[in-house]
Structures are given as C-alpha cells and as structure tokens.
A and B are shown apart, each in its own frame.
Chain A
Amino acid sequence: MTELSLKAPFVTKVPDAESTGTREREVFLPRDARRRTPLSTLRERLRWPLGIYTTPVAILIAWEILARAGVVSKTYAPAPTAIVRSAADLWQQGVLGPDLAISLQRAGIGLAIGLTVGIVSGVLGGLLRSGEYLFNGLVQVLNTIPLLAVLPLMIVWFGIDELTKVLLISFGAGVPMYLNLFAAIRGVDQRLIEMARTTGAGTWRLVTRVLVPGALPGFLVGLRFSLAYSVLGLVAAETVNADKGLGFLITQGQTYLQTNQVFVGLVIYSLLGLLADQFVRALERVLLRWRPSYEAS
C-alpha cells in the first residue's frame, strides 16, 4: 500500500506589524520543527489505523451488534459471524466445495474461450486493416446487445446445459477484450511507430517492442472488464437454471428462506471479484513499471 495522505505543511502566520497589517506572511519550516511529544506521535498513529477499510469494518461491527440485539431479523440479514459459521457448515457438509468447484470450472472454461477469441481477433483487428474490416463491425453490434438479453436466445439454441453457461461467460469476456485491445493497439503513439521505422527496425521488432508493450495498459483494462463481465455471466447463467454451482446455492437458499446461504453465495462472488481485481493489479505492477504514474519521480 502506498502512502497517499497529504499532510498539511506546518504554517505559521506572522502578521506584518510594520505595514498596514493587511500583508500577511507565511513561514514554512521542516515538519520535524514541530515539537513532537509522545502523545502527538501516538495520536498520529491511531488516527486511521484501518485506512480504506474503516467504513466496511464499521458497517460489519454495527451489523453484528444490530443482529445480536435482535433489531435486524435473522431472515433479513443474519449476523456476519453467523454467515461465516454457515459457510463453514456448508463446507463441512460437502456442499460448498463442489458448488464452488463447478462454478470456477464454468468461469475458467468460459474465460479461456472468451479471452482467446477476444485476444486473437483484437490483435488481428488492431494490426491489420483487413482484420478491422472483418471483426470490428460485428463486435460493435454485439457490444450493443446487453449480456443478459442474450441468455434466452442461448437457452433456445443450446439448451439449459453447461454449453449455454460457458458460452454466456465467454461472450461476456470476449467482447470487452476485443474492444479494449483494438483501441489499445490503434492508440499506440504514431510518433513512436514512425521513430521505430526510421531506426531500421523490421515489422517483427515493431510489433514486439512497440505495439505489444504499448497496447499492454489497454489490454489490462480489457482484462479487468472481461473478468467482471464473466462473473456477471456466471451469476446470470447459474441463477436462471442450474442444479449445482454457486448460483444454485443462492437460489436454494432463497427458496428455503436460508438467508445465511444467500449471503454465503454473495460473499463468495464478491471475493471472486476481489481476487480477479487483485490479480490484474499484480499484473499491472509487474508489467507497467515503466509508467510514470506508478512511482513518483
């Protein structure tokens, strides 16, 4: 975590006694010049010990207290500890593990297909004029169709089996990947491409050293969208029709008024989203070290 807090500089206002009194002056001193007492140090430490997690933690604590006090009914929102307990129970009963596995498998296969198609068509479309003519119009049209509206058609075409779920996820992942990758490749600075040509670099060098690294930030944006949309597709596909998986777990919980179980599903979905986000962030830290915004210089 990087320190982003902006500490106010130590400012002393010295009224200019000589003049009319309207000309105020400011004196800047090193921060150390302020007298540091053990008390002030302690106060600085304790001010925001949780950082950005302050509000989530506060909500969790309030929720727990309200649930235990009986203000919030168990069927509306069970206490956070109860949700953790029911997650552990479900795991021990051997329900959660297989459900999670099947969901991850769907997401994995769907992502693999969607990203492959998205990246291949995106690279061809970005690099070649003919590739642009082949793919761009089609994907622009597909992009205007909401992901969830495709589901009924997919059910008609492919039934209610795994194929529909996997294809919905790959549709969700492929379209944003193509669009972002295409824009990223086309967006590489023309002056750098021109420069590379004048150095005598061939097409291979141009692609590997200029276009691919230059398109990387856009690719990672596409990856982030793809992961988010694939989770969306997963939820939609599993909630509509499934006999196993996280979506099934949630639907079942809803049917039997097991709010615990619904919350367990939601928490796992959000953890999946968080993991995906952290994965892309880690990639960015490694791949985009060259970007000025990644460390102050």
Chain B
Amino acid sequence: MSSTMATKPRRQTGVVVEQVVRQFGDRVVLDHLDLTIADEELVILLGPSGCGKSTLLRLLAGLDRPDGGRVEVPARRAIVFQADRLLPWQRVLRNVTLGLHGADAEQRARDVLAEVGLAGREKAWPKELSGGEAQRVSLARALVSEPELVLLDEPFAALDAITRLRMHDLVRALRTKHQAAMLLVTHDVDEAIALADRIVVMSNGRIGTSHEVHLTAADREASVAREELRARLLEDLGLAGQH
C-alpha cells in the first residue's frame, strides 16, 4: 500500500503509465508498458483475450499494484466492470449512491439515472432489470461521482448486439456531458471504431500500435476510411486476410 504515494505526481490529470511490469509467477503479462491518456480523451484498448488488457485496467483502477514502473491516475476515478456488479439487496437508487455522501446524493443519483434513460426505475430491484438496464445502472454508478477517469472493462461484451449499439449511443451522449478521460477495454474491433478517439492495440505485454481516429459519426458507420482502419486493426491483431 505504501507504493500509492511513492513519488510526487507530475501531471494534474489524465493517465500516465511508465515502464510498467506485472507478472504472475513466471508469466510476464505487462512488459515495460507505456501509455498516456489525455484529459477527456476516449482511448480504446484492443487486444485478444488474455493479452493483459484487464490486468492493465486493474492497475489503473488501483485494484492491483505493478511489479515495476509507475502508474499515475486521477484520484477521482470510476470503473464499469464487465458484469454489472450491482448489489442485489439494494434498490437501483441505493446502488448508485453507494459511494456518495452529502444531502444532495439522492438527487444527483436521480439525475444521472435520468441521463442513462432509467428515470422512474429508482425503486426497482436489480433482479427486475434486463441486462442492458443493469449495465446502464452500473454506468450511472460510475458517472455519479463526477470522475476524471472512467475505466470500462469490456462493459458491453455480455449484451446482445442491438443493446450494445444503444449503449454506444449512450456513451457518446454521456461524453458530451461528463468531461472525463475514458479507457475502454474491448476485443470488438467494430466497437472500438464506433467510439474511440484513439485505438491502441496490445501485443506481447506492450502497446503495439496506436491509431488516432478522426472520423465523423456517419463515417464511423460506413466509409472507405472506416474499412481501411478496420483492416489495419485486424492486421495489428494478427487476423489479416481472414476477414
């Protein structure tokens, strides 16, 4: 735990990861990895299963400590996990206010629930929600604390294709309201193209390639540039020629 404040922060916001090493036994999962995320930037971390994406995210979340190197993140950060991780014994509203204090906590929670399209569902039990609704509650729970960094660990992987597209729209809408850096981990190339400011591809425990995405919403749907980007990403993932 002493490693939390080992060195003085050099930046005020965003994410700085320098030469981070993390190994489990003999297996080196993160091998001197570098990554920076600017304020309000949405970075998508792309990679096949088991390449260390979630390990990196857990380091950024503070749920795990690096074996070497340095991780600097804002103190105000929130995580959306792959599973909704709602407390089944608390109603939706109390799930959102879990980490909140103060007299206006409930009102803030109501506001954020309305933003994710769940106004009027405050009194529902988690078991009464659909998968998409539950994930929207966990999104609300993350955003309600006004974090400077939101970490999303394959948040839509368990949702059906239609619900996932709706969630993408929601994320885009929320970005205009909440000024936060975001790191979204996924193995879905189309999801990456739909949302990213920048896509980084992980390989061999490091950030392999990085692609800035400057496409309009329409171009992300269908365009020549989109297909070129997709082809390059698949090549980075070692899947060229297969699709």
Chain A residues engaging chain B, CB cutoff 8 angstroms: 191-192, 194-201, 205, 209-210, 213-214, 216, 288-292, 297
Q: Is the interface of B mostly helix, strand, loop or mixed?
A: loop
Q: Is the CB of B125 within 8 A of A198?
A: no
A297 to B90, CA, bound (A): 17
Q: In the complex, A198→B125 CA distance in Å?
A: 22
Apart from A197-B63, A198-B63, A297-B128, what are 4 other A-B pairs with CB-CB below 8 Å? A195-B81, A196-B98, A214-B87, A292-B127
Minimal beta-carbon separation of A90 from chain B (angstroms): 46
User: Could you tell me the distance in whole angstroms from the C-beta of B37 to the nearest C-beta in chain A?
Assistant: 18
Question: Is B20 an interface residue, CB under 8 A from the partner?
Answer: no
Do B126 and A290 touch across chains, with their CB atoms under 8 A apart? yes
Q: Are A210 and B79 in contact (CB under 8 A)?
A: no
Known: A191-B83, A289-B125. A205 touches B89 (CB 8 A): no
Partner of A214, one of B83, B89, B125: B89
Q: Using CB atoms, name the residue of chain A closest to B142.
A: A199
Docked complex Cα distance between A146 and B97 (Å): 47
Q: How far is the CA of A210 from the CA of B86 in the complex (A)?
A: 10
Q: How large is the interface on B (under 10, 10 to 19, 20 to 34, 35 or more residues)?
A: 20 to 34
Minimum-distance CB pairs A-B, first 3: A199-B99, A200-B99, A213-B89
A109 CB → nearest B CB, Å: 32
> Which listed residue (B98, B99, B127) contacts A297, Cβ 8 A?
B127
Known: A192-B87, A209-B87. A198 touches B78 (CB 8 A): yes
Given contacts A199-B141, A200-B145, A290-B90, contact A191 B125 (CB under 8 A): no
B residues within 8 A CB of A205? Answer: 98-99
B63-121 at interface with A (beta carbon < 8 Å): 63, 77-79, 81, 83, 85, 87-90, 94, 98-99
Find out whether the CB atom of B88 lies under 8 angstroms from the CB atom of A291: yes
* Alpha-carbon distance A291/B77, docked complex (angstroms): 30
List residues of chain A with CB within 8 A of the CB of B128: 297
| CB–CB B89/A216 < 8 A | yes
Instruction: Verify if B199 is at the interface (C-beta below 8 Å from A).
Output: no
A28 to chain B, nearest CB (A): 26
A197 to chain B, nearest CB (A): 8
The CA-CA distance from A214 to B89 in the complex, in Å, is 7
| Chain A residues whose C-beta falls within 8 Å of the C-beta of B78 in the assembled complex | 198-199
Nearest chain B residue, comparing its CB with the CB of A205: B98
Cβ-based interface call for B61 (8 A): yes
- Out of B83, B88, B89, B99, which one reaches A201, CB within 8 Å? B99
Set of chain A residues within 8 Å of B141, measured between Cβ atoms: 199
Q: Which of B81, B88, B142 is A290 in contact with, Cβ under 8 Å?
A: B88
Q: List chain A residues, Cβ under 8 A from B90.
A: 209, 213, 290
23 A–B pairs (Cβ distance < 8 Å), ordered by A: A191-B81, A192-B85, A195-B79, A196-B87, A198-B63, A198-B77, A198-B78, A198-B79, A201-B99, A209-B87, A209-B94, A210-B87, A214-B87, A214-B89, A288-B89, A289-B125, A290-B88, A290-B90, A290-B125, A290-B126, A291-B88, A291-B127, A292-B88
